[in-house]
Structure 1
Amino acid sequence: MAEACETLKKYKTTPVWIVEDHNDALYYIYRAIGSHHLPLHGVTMVHLDSHPDMLIPWKMSADTVFDREELLNTLSIENWILPAAYAGHLDCVVWVKPPWAEQIQEQSVSFYIGKHRTSGTIRVSSTESYFLSEALFSPESQLENKRLITLHVLTLSGSSHTTHDETEPEVKRMRKDHKTQREAEKQDGTAQNCLSKENQNRAKCTHDTVQQRCEDAKSIPEDLEVTNRKIMMEILSSVRKSSAMILDIDLDFFSTQNPFQDLFTDEQFKIIRKLYNFERPSGADEDALLTYTEGRHQLLEQLEEICADLQNGTELKDIECDTSRKELLATLVNSMRETFEDNLDFELIHLAGCTCDDTELPHHVSCQEEITNLTAAMETMLSCLPTPTLVTVARSSDDDYCPKSQVESIQEKVLECLEYLYADIHVQLEYLQQD
């Protein structure tokens, strides 16, 4: 990794901030920047999640990023990363995704993020469907205060990954010894100190050996289950050039739900897809993409207003829109009144509709073996990377993205992995302090 600024402070132990809503992680990242543990610029974020979280608040002024309190109050779980990139803090984002996540395909790509000259909002020059479907595209020529950002997208597979419990008894023993000694230290802070340090040094030695092997041989471990090893090498190169690294983990990376799936019937979802459908041009002509973006923008804005009006009591007959969409709305509303009766929530329709583009939200509730294998694969991947300055972890269970029945066991597995990799961590359960 590139030399960080000499004035940066170092944490005595690697902090691990555990939050409930994922966007709350940004508060602790900004706090680390403010306390000079992270540099102001040039940071890489390694982001393990079933979702990219790289949208941008649609109507938010670009200048909001320079007012931390207003920014944090504006963001939500799907749009908290790129505003930090526009502010200059992140210049590289690595989205490590499980096999069932398809919102952005595997690639290494660079694009500009900047302030749109006309609207004053944040837009990107990327023509990825993920951004186009949210009307976030703008040509580079229309962006001011633009910054180049690199995005790596890598699929981490645990399907055929053999767990440590089956093939690495030494690692398993080291983990058990380390955990035993850590528990003993809580009861006796000095008696077991030497043995604990020995286990920490073993863990560090294992980490350093794997990392050195990657650097010397310009390769990655053969047991690392990634679908594109070339992208993994590009990730290693990017991380080493960065001033610092943030590790960010959403527990729904290991098992995830589409919270809208149980709210609507298949027929209702089919209508919602038609209602929000807007055909993308087949080519990459800039004028065609601009026309599409403007049309998509108008459609989303119109549907948002319609859902708000219906929620506020406006009769469907008084809603102004084209005939075909009004007919779809009527069919949908009649169907949902049978399902929801007096609890009909039109804002939910809009939230669900915004997820209906080229790909839908992933839904894959993992079995225990899949979770274990993905955790082992994550550990192997992270052993190739430098120790992060800090770690943020999002539970994502209150909003039903990570199954409530699994979140505690997943969190325990992740913390065991982090403790093994980084020897000494300071876990802070911030979600327990939140209302």
Structure 2
Amino acid sequence: PWAKQFRDGTRAFHVGDQPTTGLLRVDSTEPYYLSDALYSSHLINKRKLTLTVAELSDMSTSKQTIQELAETINISQPYVLDIDLDFFSTGNPFLLQYENIGLYDLLEPIFELKLPESDDEKEMEKAVELRERQLEELEKLFLYLEEHGNLEKYEGEKTELFDKVSRLSDVVIAEAEKLGEPPDW
């Protein structure tokens, strides 16, 4: 499948407000939601929803398979399907930006999501907390790069993530100089 955010199948989960932040969250443990720190086991004003994901290719999917899927998800009346066409109309800017240094491959370990080893609620909450801290630190580092051009005088904590971003920034700065343009952080 071209879309890899969700595995094929049907799953039910809740969406609601996280009581301490008031932000919309889900109790789904799908990596898609964990990567954006959107998981919470504590929700108020929650609503249950069922998500079914299935690849339907006109070449490989028989009419019977489609009919069985429609019956499984109980489609008996007209159905509205919302497809986000941004995927088709835009490209991933990191794939083309600084192609010579493989920027996309260099960014992957920096933004890597460490999934919990089980679906245990406490492990999920801990994973989300760690992800939130990771994303916050990345935001601080890249804002600093945008403002100062490098991390030489960065006064924040020098974590493993700082080291990774620092090495990346050195490579990007060198490539940008070769191209005669400032880096776009």
Which of the five TM-score ranges fits, normalised by the shorter chain? 0.7 to 0.9
For 1:246, the equivalent position in structure 2 comes to 80
For 1:51, the equivalent position in structure 2 comes to none
For 1:134, the equivalent position in structure 2 comes to 36
Structure 1 pair 230–260 and aligned structure 2 pair: CA distance change class (3 A): farther
1:151 aligns with 2:51: yes
| Greater share of residues in helix | 1
For 1:343, the equivalent position in structure 2 comes to 182
Which letter does structure 1 place at the counterpart of 2:13?
F
CA–CA separation in structure 2 for the residues paired with 1:256 and 1:102: 17
Answer 1 or 2: higher relative contact order, Cα 8 Å, separation at least 6.
1
- In the TM superposition, what is the alpha-carbon distance from 1:250 to its structure 2 partner? 4.3
- The one of 281, 291, 300 equivalent to 2:116 is 281
Does the 8 A contact of 2:13 with 2:28 survive in 1? yes
Does the 8 A contact of 2:141 with 2:165 survive in 1? no
CA–CA separation in structure 1 for the residues paired with 2:76 and 2:50: 14
- The one of 110, 117, 125 equivalent to 1:290 is 125
- In the TM superposition, what is the alpha-carbon distance from 1:159 to its structure 2 partner? 4.1
- In the TM superposition, what is the alpha-carbon distance from 1:257 to its structure 2 partner? 3.9
Query: Secondary structure of 2:161's partner?
Result: helix
Does the 8 A contact of 2:17 with 2:45 survive in 1? yes
For 1:318, the equivalent position in structure 2 comes to 153
CA–CA separation in structure 2 for the residues paired with 1:152 and 1:334: 44
For 1:125, the equivalent position in structure 2 comes to 27
- In the TM superposition, what is the alpha-carbon distance from 1:340 to its structure 2 partner? 2.9
Does the 8 A contact of 2:150 with 2:169 survive in 1? no
For 2:63, the equivalent position in structure 1 comes to 221
Matches within 5 A, 1:270-419: 270-313=105-148, 315-319=150-154, 320-341=156-177, 342-346=181-185
Which letter does structure 2 place at the counterpart of 1:119?
T
Q: Deviations over 1:65-91 (max 9, x none)?
A: xxxxxxxxxxxxxxxxxxxxxxxxxxx
CA–CA separation in structure 2 for the residues paired with 1:283 and 1:259: 34
Structure 1 pair 108–274 and aligned structure 2 pair: CA distance change class (3 A): same
Q: TM-score, normalised by structure 1?
A: 0.38
CA–CA separation in structure 2 for the residues paired with 1:232 and 1:273: 37
Structure 1 pair 340–315 and aligned structure 2 pair: CA distance change class (3 A): closer
CA–CA separation in structure 1 for the residues paired with 2:68 and 2:182: 50
Query: Secondary structure of 2:53's partner?
Result: strand
Structure 1 pair 250–127 and aligned structure 2 pair: CA distance change class (3 A): closer
Aligned-pair identity in percent equals 32
CA–CA separation in structure 2 for the residues paired with 1:131 and 1:116: 14
- In the TM superposition, what is the alpha-carbon distance from 1:314 to its structure 2 partner? 6.3
CA–CA separation in structure 2 for the residues paired with 1:321 and 1:145: 38
Structure 1 pair 285–247 and aligned structure 2 pair: CA distance change class (3 A): closer
What root-mean-square deviation, in Å, do the aligned CA atoms of Structure 1 and Structure 2 show? 2.7
Structure 1 pair 114–251 and aligned structure 2 pair: CA distance change class (3 A): closer
Q: Structure 1 regions of 5+ residues with no counterpart?
A: 1-98, 162-219, 347-435
Q: Structure 2 regions of 5+ residues with no counterpart?
A: none
Aligned residues: 180
Which letter does structure 1 place at the counterpart of 2:184?
D
Structure 1 pair 273–102 and aligned structure 2 pair: CA distance change class (3 A): same
Q: Deviations over 1:197-222 (max 9, x none)?
A: xxxxxxxxxxxxxxxxxxxxxxx824
Which letter does structure 1 place at the counterpart of 2:44?
E
